[in-house]
Amino acid sequence: MTDFVDTFGASLAAVVSAAGRVVSQSAAARELSAKALIAAQGDIAGARRDLDASAAVIAGQIALRSRPEAGHAGLAQREGFRTPEALVQHATGSTAREAMTLVRVGAMIHDSTANETGAPTYPVAEPWLVPVGLAVASGTLSVAAAEAIRGGLGGPNEDVSIDALRDAAATLVRLGPTLNADQMFRRAREARDDLDEAGIAIRERERRELRSLRRWRKPDGMTRYIWELDPESAALVDGIYDQLTSLRRGGPRMVDKAEQKRAEAVERDPRTTDQLASDGFLDLLTIAVGTVTGTAVGISTGTDPRQLIGIRNPAVRVLVSAEHLAAGNLAGRTGHGRIEGHPDPISIETVERIACTSGIIPIHFDTSGQVLDVGREQRLFTRRQRIGLAARDGGCRWPECQRPPGWTEAHHVDHWQRDHGETSIDNGILLCRHHHLLLHDNHWEIAKRGAEYWLIPPPGIDPDQTARPMPSKSPALHDLLDSRSA
């Protein structure tokens, strides 16, 4: 044991020394090639993943030695701290959240490896997370991804068994090398929704109950509002906010002449983007309540709101499969829908309520997930085609980009002028303004294989021009394809 402890201490000292040398020689980074820079960042990330796992192991051991049954003799209280998390935060100089994460993941690791190492056994707090703890211990999963799985999956209930959660956790672990922590949390949430469709309506109600609008006066005379919204309400407000600010934040370029004129006015406006958003919402409220005096921009009750937010009316657009909508009318009420641009599902009851007030636009997909559409002669995509593209793509399809459909432009895969490409949905793909410009200016290409789209880098980026997948970001489309393959 002494040899092991000595080796452990020496290893830590070597790591600290190596890290210090990298920082002290930071000027050398300027001499690295672009490829070497990216490779170095990946190597450091791997080392950090191992260090974070080691920190979690230590934090977990601190928590074990501070178990409640030890009372004041426990490590944390003996050192003058109320909880092991407080001791870890003190020792690391981290935030309370980071310390809590280290303790929780450390507990996963110890729970998962206790039998293998011969450590004293005790009741495992979260047995469905054993595959997660083993993956962190083996170095294949980061601490942040482990915490994302824990938070996204949640715990068992009468509809979701421990075994089902353990299987879902094992599946997520296998995705570990390909996903960052944010993506892992989203996948874990999706896995939970797949396992617990009956709980979607419950979680939806819980989020709705959390809505609030709070106000307080600041000492400097300003007033601050904090507005918490459920996904359905936020979708409408997000639409207004995006239309007020997107011209400043890289939103789609305007085609309509009236919209172009509004865009030019916004670009010349001396106000900051935050000020534009604030004045815009205040102007809309002024119009709604009929106040004559106007605001800082001097509007009257006769002002057309489209002067503020453009010609498109913000709306909550819901996507649902016909099968789920039909099943919702039967006893047992199964199925769910998706608010466009939001990852969480909504209950079939909410879908029906919105459909009752807003109507339905049918969009037909073939078995591969491609929207069925007839090629058109015009250069620009129609509103209905844009709706179909939004349902299929779910936003900008450039890898890793999370821009929602409202922030995108429709790009011709086979270029309209160069390739004589049709203005049809299968020849269209949604790209945000930044990536649309990048594609054209830097000579990237997109290849289509059935319903799949692939990004081809220019030779200067990748001499082999290896195709990169451009998966759909639409949870609703994934729901549809999953239901058809079941």
b or e along 340-368 (b: 16 or more beta carbons within 10 Å of the residue's beta carbon)? bbbbbbbbbebbbebeeeeeeeebebeee
pTM of the shown model: 0.68
- The helix (run of H) or strand (run of E) holding residue 7 is helix 2-24
Rounded Cα distance, 190 and 436, in Å = 29
pLDDT for residue 292: 42
Question: Among candidates 145, 112, 140, which has minimal Cα distance to 126?
Answer: 112
pLDDT for residue 215: 92
Rounded Cα distance, 136 and 286, in Å = 54
Rounded Cα distance, 147 and 104, in Å = 8
Rg (CA), the chain: 27
Question: Among candidates 127, 340, 130, which has minimal Cα distance to 231?
Answer: 340
Structure tokens at 229: 């919204």
| Residues 6+ away with beta carbon under 8 Å from 333 | 327, 348, 349
Domain ranges of the chain: 32-196, 212-309, 318-358, 383-485
pLDDT for residue 41: 85
275 backbone dihedrals φ, ψ, rounded to 5°: -70, -40
DSSP helix/strand/coil, 428: strand
| Grouped pLDDT means (10 residues each) for the chain, 486 residues | 58 64 70 84 83 90 87 88 92 91 91 65 79 90 93 90 94 90 92 86 86 92 92 86 79 67 78 87 76 43 52 67 65 70 80 68 72 56 85 91 85 81 87 86 87 91 92 87 76
Contact 296, 283 (CB under 8 A): no
DSSP helix/strand/coil, 418: coil
Question: Among candidates 235, 251, 242, which has minimal Cα distance to 276?
Answer: 242
Contact 405, 394 (CB under 8 A): yes
pLDDT for residue 239: 83
Contact 337, 476 (CB under 8 A): yes
Using a 10 angstrom Cβ sphere, with 0-12 exposed, 13-18 middle and 19 or more buried, the burial of residue 369 is: middle
pLDDT for residue 306: 55
